[in-house]
Amino acid sequence: MEEWNRVIGINATGYFLCAQQAIRRMREQGKGGSIINVSSVASQAALGRGNLAYSVSKSAVNQMTRELAVEFAGKGIRVNAILPTHVLTPILQSIIDDPQFDSSKLMACWLKGIPINRLLEPDDVVGPVVFLASSAAAAVTGVLLPVDGGNLALSSTGSTVWPSET
Protein backbone atom coordinates (compact mmCIF):
# COMPACT_ATOMS: atom_id res chain seq x y z
CA MET A 1 0.00 0.00 0.00
CA GLU A 2 2.87 2.36 0.73
CA GLU A 3 4.26 2.06 -2.82
CA TRP A 4 0.76 2.26 -4.35
CA ASN A 5 -0.12 5.42 -2.41
CA ARG A 6 3.24 7.04 -3.20
CA VAL A 7 2.99 6.42 -6.96
CA ILE A 8 -0.71 7.34 -7.22
CA GLY A 9 0.02 10.44 -5.13
CA ILE A 10 2.74 11.60 -7.51
CA ASN A 11 1.21 10.65 -10.85
CA ALA A 12 -2.50 11.16 -10.26
CA THR A 13 -2.93 13.54 -7.35
CA GLY A 14 0.20 15.53 -8.20
CA TYR A 15 -0.84 16.03 -11.82
CA PHE A 16 -4.37 16.96 -10.70
CA LEU A 17 -3.10 19.60 -8.29
CA CYS A 18 -0.76 21.07 -10.92
CA ALA A 19 -3.54 21.17 -13.52
CA GLN A 20 -5.91 22.75 -11.01
CA GLN A 21 -3.47 25.59 -10.32
CA ALA A 22 -2.61 26.05 -14.01
CA ILE A 23 -6.27 26.20 -15.01
CA ARG A 24 -7.05 28.63 -12.19
CA ARG A 25 -4.31 30.99 -13.39
CA MET A 26 -5.21 30.64 -17.07
CA ARG A 27 -8.83 31.46 -16.32
CA GLU A 28 -7.86 34.47 -14.15
CA GLN A 29 -5.77 35.83 -17.03
CA GLY A 30 -8.51 35.06 -19.55
CA LYS A 31 -6.01 33.94 -22.17
CA GLY A 32 -6.47 30.18 -22.20
CA GLY A 33 -3.39 28.06 -22.57
CA SER A 34 -1.97 24.59 -22.95
CA ILE A 35 -1.35 21.86 -20.41
CA ILE A 36 0.81 18.94 -21.49
CA ASN A 37 0.87 15.92 -19.23
CA VAL A 38 3.61 13.32 -19.37
CA SER A 39 2.06 9.88 -19.34
CA SER A 40 3.66 6.67 -20.61
CA VAL A 41 3.16 3.79 -23.01
CA ALA A 42 2.61 1.85 -19.77
CA SER A 43 -0.81 3.53 -19.63
CA GLN A 44 -1.87 1.72 -22.80
CA ALA A 45 -0.17 -1.68 -22.55
CA ALA A 46 0.89 -3.62 -19.48
CA LEU A 47 4.62 -3.71 -18.73
CA GLY A 48 4.52 -6.36 -16.02
CA ARG A 49 7.69 -6.59 -13.90
CA GLY A 50 6.11 -4.91 -10.87
CA ASN A 51 4.79 -1.82 -12.67
CA LEU A 52 1.15 -2.08 -11.56
CA ALA A 53 0.93 1.18 -9.61
CA TYR A 54 2.91 3.08 -12.23
CA SER A 55 0.79 1.84 -15.14
CA VAL A 56 -2.49 2.48 -13.32
CA SER A 57 -1.36 5.97 -12.30
CA LYS A 58 -0.40 6.85 -15.88
CA SER A 59 -3.79 5.56 -17.07
CA ALA A 60 -5.33 8.01 -14.60
CA VAL A 61 -3.25 10.78 -16.19
CA ASN A 62 -4.71 9.85 -19.59
CA GLN A 63 -8.29 10.00 -18.40
CA MET A 64 -7.63 13.23 -16.51
CA THR A 65 -6.18 14.66 -19.73
CA ARG A 66 -9.32 13.79 -21.69
CA GLU A 67 -11.73 14.99 -18.98
CA LEU A 68 -9.94 18.33 -18.51
CA ALA A 69 -9.66 18.79 -22.29
CA VAL A 70 -13.41 18.43 -22.69
CA GLU A 71 -14.30 20.46 -19.62
CA PHE A 72 -12.09 23.46 -20.43
CA ALA A 73 -12.01 23.51 -24.25
CA GLY A 74 -14.63 26.26 -24.29
CA LYS A 75 -12.37 28.37 -22.08
CA GLY A 76 -9.49 28.18 -24.58
CA ILE A 77 -7.54 25.71 -22.46
CA ARG A 78 -6.10 22.74 -24.31
CA VAL A 79 -5.01 19.63 -22.43
CA ASN A 80 -2.96 16.90 -24.08
CA ALA A 81 -0.53 14.19 -23.01
CA ILE A 82 2.55 12.59 -24.46
CA LEU A 83 3.16 8.88 -23.96
CA PRO A 84 6.87 8.15 -24.16
CA THR A 85 8.46 4.73 -24.07
CA HIS A 86 11.77 4.09 -22.29
CA VAL A 87 13.70 7.38 -22.19
CA LEU A 88 17.39 7.24 -21.36
CA THR A 89 17.25 9.39 -18.24
CA PRO A 90 19.73 9.17 -15.36
CA ILE A 91 17.28 6.92 -13.50
CA LEU A 92 16.97 4.50 -16.43
CA GLN A 93 20.75 4.58 -16.90
CA SER A 94 21.18 3.63 -13.24
CA ILE A 95 18.96 0.58 -13.83
CA ILE A 96 21.01 -0.38 -16.88
CA ASP A 97 24.21 0.01 -14.85
CA ASP A 98 22.88 -1.89 -11.81
CA PRO A 99 24.97 -5.08 -11.41
CA GLN A 100 21.87 -7.06 -10.36
CA PHE A 101 20.75 -6.89 -14.01
CA ASP A 102 22.40 -8.21 -17.14
CA SER A 103 22.41 -4.95 -19.10
CA SER A 104 22.64 -6.65 -22.50
CA LYS A 105 19.56 -8.79 -21.73
CA LEU A 106 17.74 -5.78 -20.33
CA MET A 107 18.44 -3.71 -23.44
CA ALA A 108 17.50 -6.59 -25.72
CA CYS A 109 14.20 -6.98 -23.87
CA TRP A 110 13.36 -3.29 -24.19
CA LEU A 111 14.57 -2.85 -27.75
CA LYS A 112 12.65 -5.83 -29.16
CA GLY A 113 9.50 -3.78 -28.61
CA ILE A 114 10.77 -0.49 -30.05
CA PRO A 115 10.87 -0.55 -33.87
CA ILE A 116 13.36 2.35 -34.11
CA ASN A 117 15.72 0.00 -32.21
CA ARG A 118 16.92 2.46 -29.59
CA LEU A 119 15.84 3.99 -26.33
CA LEU A 120 14.55 7.52 -26.58
CA GLU A 121 16.80 10.40 -25.62
CA PRO A 122 15.26 13.22 -23.57
CA ASP A 123 15.48 15.48 -26.63
CA ASP A 124 13.16 13.10 -28.54
CA VAL A 125 10.20 14.39 -26.52
CA VAL A 126 11.02 18.07 -27.02
CA GLY A 127 9.55 18.42 -30.53
CA PRO A 128 6.19 16.85 -29.69
CA VAL A 129 5.90 18.97 -26.54
CA VAL A 130 6.81 22.16 -28.43
CA PHE A 131 4.21 21.29 -31.07
CA LEU A 132 1.47 20.66 -28.48
CA ALA A 133 2.32 23.91 -26.69
CA SER A 134 2.37 25.97 -29.89
CA SER A 135 -0.34 27.69 -31.89
CA ALA A 136 0.26 25.03 -34.57
CA ALA A 137 -1.77 22.75 -32.26
CA ALA A 138 -4.53 25.30 -31.64
CA ALA A 139 -7.20 22.72 -32.51
CA VAL A 140 -5.54 19.81 -30.71
CA THR A 141 -6.96 18.92 -27.31
CA GLY A 142 -7.61 15.66 -25.50
CA VAL A 143 -4.91 13.87 -27.49
CA LEU A 144 -2.72 11.11 -26.08
CA LEU A 145 0.33 11.32 -28.35
CA PRO A 146 2.66 8.32 -28.33
CA VAL A 147 6.31 9.36 -28.49
CA ASP A 148 7.54 5.82 -28.52
CA GLY A 149 9.54 4.86 -31.59
CA GLY A 150 6.63 2.69 -32.75
CA ASN A 151 6.34 0.76 -29.47
CA LEU A 152 2.53 0.85 -29.26
CA ALA A 153 2.19 0.11 -32.97
CA LEU A 154 4.14 -3.16 -32.69
CA SER A 155 2.07 -6.24 -31.95
CA SER A 156 3.38 -8.56 -29.24
CA THR A 157 3.83 -11.17 -31.97
CA GLY A 158 5.27 -8.67 -34.42
CA SER A 159 8.88 -8.11 -35.33
CA THR A 160 10.93 -5.54 -37.18
CA VAL A 161 12.81 -8.27 -39.09
CA TRP A 162 11.83 -11.29 -41.18
CA PRO A 163 12.62 -14.67 -39.57
CA SER A 164 15.14 -15.35 -42.34
CA GLU A 165 17.10 -12.26 -41.23
CA THR A 166 17.68 -13.47 -37.67
What single-letter amino acid sits at 119? L
d(CA 138, CA 76): 9
d(CA 166, CA 162): 7
Query: What b/e string do you get for 134-143 counting C-beta neighbours within 10 Å, with b at 16 or more?
Result: eeebeeebbb
Residue 148 near residue 114 (C-beta atoms within 8 A): yes
Calculate Rg over the CA atoms of the chain: 18
Annotated active-site positions, please? 54
What single-letter amino acid sits at 7? V
